[in-house]
């Protein structure tokens, strides 16, 4: 079934159930965290629903000593933040005449706390008489997910609220007092916010690791070789005097030069040429951190620049079209079922059946403390390819959107197959051995998603800027061409052929390791 038909079929029963909400009550007020979400969700719910944003927490601890009363079972004194009074008044005004208040903040601990604060504040102001309060959560901002959540409300989770209160009390009593220390030790640094104690421990442990590092010198020996047919290649020394060399076997320049001299004098031949095949699996879709890392590595974007561009893509460049990517602050790697099917359809249409596995790929985060309140960062409409999006976006927006699109599409494609060639060179007694390796692509699989040619931003697909367009290679295998040439050279070598040494290259390296004292202390901890 086509992805769009499948999506519409799933929405029909949900739409009818949500319609009951609008018929059974005159009006319903929905409170979310951010205004950008509010607009999208209100469009999904339609008439009978008013959606407002709380802009985060509506209240905080009273800004004075004693706000956490340790002698009274750690009870807390709260006050509405002055910056949120206007927004809270808007919620109060909208609540007039409503029979239902639906708290739809994020499903993580902070989101639960925000809903709790809203309910408690409205209760204190005595405006919830006759108003039924419900809590709903959804991990993706799609119509299906929103309607499904509205049809299955629950109560506010008290365990999550208590976890928030415990952390807030600890920060107030212990953590905040450490910020002045950080300011003195790190001039110009801002407050560590709600994680002072954690940050300070990280700094102390990192400083201990730096002090405990010791450096160790080691050398490697490379050789420039050619065979009887004049094929030139490089190989690295792996065995000397009949023994395999470990990392620190050549510990000084003297021993490295001695080893290089023995290689130069040896009568060498090719002892074996072997080929093996390996697979490379695609990476999961982006989380916030992996998107920032990839943007820094491939685009040279700083964190703030990446998040600013991502925010613009999330909000959308065209109000009628909506956002181009899903919510960009997430630690989840999963995509919704309809998004997975849409991505597979697009990959199949664009790259062919062979590039799409029979079954969909599903990913789980490896982080034990990941809350996965939102799905991974992905295009909201995968059919909007980077080529089509080029006419709509600025240069930075197009670069980041291309990364998000490629990563999402590649995550549902087949493994890449790589042929690796290994050549062993030795002397007649096999006391001296050298090794050379190379690789080439047999089947691109998911890497094909990174080979698309993207026009310059602001230029419609199919046209070129100034008649000349240079496209950077954004493929994750940027050295593939060089590796392929090396592999072809190595594959042309024949077993038994004599090899001549053109040059030897001793290279110095340094290894940093932890001292035994620090290792034992860390193990005891």
For residue 75, what are the β-bridge partners?
A: 69
In a 3-state reduction of DSSP, which class is residue 416? Answer: strand
Catalytic residue numbers?
Answer: 327
Q: Which residues, at least 6 apart from 12, have a Cβ–Cβ distance to it below 8 Å?
A: none
> Which two tokens mark 427?
């002397």
Residues in the chain: 525
Q: What distance in Å separates the CA atoms of residue 62 and residue 43, rounded to the nearest whole number?
A: 37
User: Is there a contact between 148 and 138 (Cβ–Cβ < 8 Å)?
Assistant: yes
- Classify residue 250 by its DSSP letter: S
| Backbone phi, psi, residue 95, to 5° | -70, -20
Q: What distance in Å separates the CA atoms of residue 192 and residue 175, rounded to the nearest whole number?
A: 9
- Inter-axis angle of helices 288-299 and 303-315, nearest 10: 110
> Which strands make up the sheet holding 28-32, listed edge to edge?
49-53, 28-32, 100-103, 132-135
Distance between the two ends of the chain, CA-based, in angstroms? 55
Q: What distance in Å separates the CA atoms of residue 142 and residue 104, rounded to the nearest whole number?
A: 14
User: Is there a contact between 54 and 31 (Cβ–Cβ < 8 Å)?
Assistant: yes
User: Is there a contact between 134 and 154 (Cβ–Cβ < 8 Å)?
Assistant: yes
Helix (H) or strand (E) holding 132: strand 132-135
Q: Do strands 213-227 and 232-240 pair parallel, antiparallel, or not at all (unpaired)?
A: antiparallel
User: Is there a contact between 285 and 376 (Cβ–Cβ < 8 Å)?
Assistant: yes
Candidates 212, 299, 229; CA nearest to 520 is 212
């Amino acid at each position: 079934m086509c992805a769009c038909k499948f999506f519409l079929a799933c929405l029909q029963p949900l739409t009818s159930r949500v319609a009951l909400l609008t018929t059974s009550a005159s009006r319903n007020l929905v409170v979310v965290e951010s205004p950008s979400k509010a607009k999208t969700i209100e469009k999904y719910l339609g008439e009978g629903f008013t959606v407002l944003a709380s802009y985060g927490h509506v209240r905080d601890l009273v800004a004075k000593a004693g706000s956490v009363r340790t002698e009274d079972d750690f009870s807390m004194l709260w006050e509405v933040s002055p910056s949120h009074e206007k927004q809270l008044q808007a919620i109060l005004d909208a609540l007039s005449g409503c029979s239902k208040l639906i708290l739809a903040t994020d499903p993580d601990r902070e989101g639960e706390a925000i809903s709790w604060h809203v309910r408690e504040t409205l209760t204190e102001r005595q405006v919830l008489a006759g108003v039924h309060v419900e809590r709903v959560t959804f991990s993706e901002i799609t119509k299906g997910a929103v309607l499904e959540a509205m049809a299955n409300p629950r109560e506010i989770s008290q365990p999550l609220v208590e976890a928030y209160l415990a952390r807030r009390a600890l920060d107030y009593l212990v953590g905040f007092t450490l910020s002045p220390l950080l300011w003195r030790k790190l001039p110009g640094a801002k407050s560590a916010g709600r994680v002072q104690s954690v940050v300070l421990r990280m700094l102390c442990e990192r400083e201990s690791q730096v002090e405990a590092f010791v450096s160790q010198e080691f050398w490697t020996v490379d050789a420039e070789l050619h065979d009887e047919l004049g094929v030139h290649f490089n190989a690295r020394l792996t065995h000397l005097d009949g023994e395999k060399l470990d990392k620190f076997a050549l510990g000084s320049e003297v021993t490295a030069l001695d080893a290089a001299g023995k290689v130069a004098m040896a009568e060498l031949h090719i002892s074996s040429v072997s080929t093996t095949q390996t697979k490379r699996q695609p990476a999961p879709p982006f989380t916030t951190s992996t998107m920032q890392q990839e943007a820094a590595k491939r685009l040279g974007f700083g964190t703030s620049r990446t998040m600013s561009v991502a925010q613009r893509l999330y909000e959308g460049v065209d109000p009628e079209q909506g956002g181009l990517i899903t919510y960009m602050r997430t630690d989840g790697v999963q995509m919704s079922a309809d998004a997975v099917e849409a991505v597979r359809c697009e990959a199949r249409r664009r790259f062919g059946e062979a590039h799409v596995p029979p079954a969909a790929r599903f990913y789980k985060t490896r982080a034990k403390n990941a809350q996965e309140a939102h799905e991974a960062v992905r295009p909201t409409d995968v059919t909007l390819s980077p080529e089509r999006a080029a006419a709509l976006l600025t240069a930075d927006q197009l670069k980041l959107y291309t990364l998000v699109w490629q990563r999402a599409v590649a995550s549902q494609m087949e493994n890449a197959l790589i042929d690796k060639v290994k050549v062993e060179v030795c002397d007649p007694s096999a006391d001296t051995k050298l090794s050379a390796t190379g690789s080439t692509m047999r089947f691109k699989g998911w890497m094909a998603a990174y080979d698309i040619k993207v026009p310059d931003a602001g230029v419609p697909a199919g046209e070129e800027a100034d008649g000349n367009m240079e496209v950077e290679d954004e493929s994750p295998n940027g050295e593939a061409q060089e590796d392929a040439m090396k592999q072809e050279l190595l594959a042309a070598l024949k077993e038994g052929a004599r090899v001549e040494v053109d040059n030897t290259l001793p290279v110095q390296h340094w290894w940093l390791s932890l001292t035994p004292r620090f290792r034992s202390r860390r193990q005891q901890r």
